[in-house]
Amino acid sequence: MNDIRVAIIDYQMSNLYSVKNACDHNEIISFITSDRKEIMDADAVILPGVGAFAEAMNNLKKLDLISPIRDFITTGRPFMGTCLGMQLLLSESEEFQYARGLGLIKGKVTRFPKISSRGERIKVPHIGWNSIHGVMRRRGWDKSALRSVRESEYMYFVHSYYVVPENESDILTTTTYSGIEFCSSIARENIFATQFHPEKSSREGMKIYREWLSDIRDKKRRT
């Protein structure tokens, strides 16, 4: 019997049901919630997201979800952020206007430039399939939810901004778009986050959810 329960945080601007469908596909018992107690009682939490950074932070404040997110992460239980959900973990964003983030990962969120270093116009947003590459100095790929995914595998992206972590050790993978190398996933202690959408990344994305479920089970078994 699967007794793992995963909370998907609803802050009124997320791709909730595609994430829940990915959980269902991998036999993860998940539920959508904005309730602090339900979040804190979960075995793991997913913070998804699509939209503007400042609006997302305002919604998290309005729904009193900032402290539950921070408090949950301090428990050491697995936490996943996807797309905007990863960006919100950073300290700040320059999207439209300066906005503070959750500050769980030091760094900033910045926009793709309009012109590349080669003088070519960059098409923004970055939409479509692109490859992810492990950061060798980190050597964390085989210990992360990416361990069943091949190096240079393609994942699905939709974003105009990308994260710039202050500490390179937080970077799990990078991706290159129009000559710009950016951080495409993060791993730090119990936090795993991706700029790409695993739930929209076909079979390879489902592997990520499956391995993350394995991590949840291992964590619960040890506690």
As annotated, the active-site residues are 83, 197, 199
∠ CA 187-189-192, rounded to 5°: 35
Q: Which residues contact 187 (CB under 8 A, 6 or more apart)?
A: 138, 140, 143, 144, 170, 172, 193
For tokens 């959508």, name the residue: 32
For tokens 């609006």, name the residue: 55
Cα–Cα distance measured from residue 190 to residue 218, given in angstroms and rounded to the nearest whole number: 12
∠ CA 60-88-95, rounded to 5°: 100
Q: Which two tokens stand for residue 14?
A: 């997320």
C-beta of residue 212 within 8 angstroms of C-beta of residue 78? yes
